[in-house]
C-alpha cells in the first residue's frame, strides 16, 4: 500500500470521526495518526464543518418545527368565533404541505442515521478485521455521498 493510499484512508477515517461531532480536531489527529494542522487543513479545504452543520439539524428537530407550525395554525383557527373554526384555503394548503413534509420526514432514513449506523458497524468490524473495515469505509463513504 502506497503513502497516498494510507493518507487517503486516514483522511476518510478523520472525516468520519469529525462528522460524528463527538471529537475535537486534536483528538481526531491522535486517533488517525496525523498532525492536528493536517486535520485543520482537511476541514477547511473540504468544508467538513458545513457538512457537519447540515447533519446536526436532526430529523427530530425538523419534525418538531413542522408540528409547531401546524399547532400554531390550529391555535389561530381555534380562537375564531363558533361556526368560523375551520381553515381557509390558504391555511388548509399550508397544513396539507406541512403534514405531508412531516410524514415524508418520519418515513425517511436521514443522513445522520446512515452515518451513525455506518460508524457503529465500522467500529464493530474493525475489532476483528481491520482490512474489511477499510473496505467497508470506502463503500459507506460512496453511499453517503449519493444521499447528500
According to the model, what pLDDT value does residue 103 have?
86
Expressed in angstroms, the distance from the first to the final Cα of the chain is: 30
Res. 56 pLDDT band, cuts 50 70 90: low
Of 107, 119, 127, nearest to 144 by C-alpha is: 119
**Average pLDDT for 45-66:** 81
- H or E element, residue 76: helix 59-78
What cell was used for 109?
A: 432514513
What percent of the chain stands above pLDDT 90? 45
What cell was used for 3?
A: 503513502
Contact 42, 15 (CB under 8 A): yes
Amino acid at each position: 500500500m502506497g503513502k497516498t493510499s494510507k493518507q487517503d484512508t486516514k483522511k476518510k477515517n478523520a472525516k468520519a470521526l469529525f462528522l460524528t461531532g463527538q471529537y475535537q480536531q486534536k483528538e481526531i489527529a491522535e486517533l488517525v495518526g496525523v498532525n492536528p494542522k493536517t486535520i485543520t487543513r482537511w476541514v477547511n479545504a473540504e468544508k467538513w464543518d458545513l457538512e457537519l452543520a447540515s447533519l446536526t439539524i436532526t430529523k427530530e428537530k425538523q419534525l418538531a418545527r413542522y408540528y409547531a407550525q401546524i399547532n400554531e395554525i390550529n391555535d389561530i383557527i381555534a380562537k375564531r368565533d363558533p361556526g368560523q373554526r375551520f381553515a381557509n384555503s390558504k391555511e388548509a394548503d399550508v397544513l396539507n404541505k406541512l403534514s405531508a413534509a412531516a410524514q415524508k420526514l418520519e418515513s425517511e432514513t436521514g443522513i445522520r442515521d446512515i452515518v451513525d449506523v455506518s460508524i457503529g458497524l465500522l467500529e464493530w468490524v474493525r475489532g476483528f478485521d481491520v482490512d474489511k473495515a477499510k473496505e467497508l469505509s470506502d463503500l459507506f463513504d460512496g453511499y453517503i455521498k449519493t444521499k447528500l
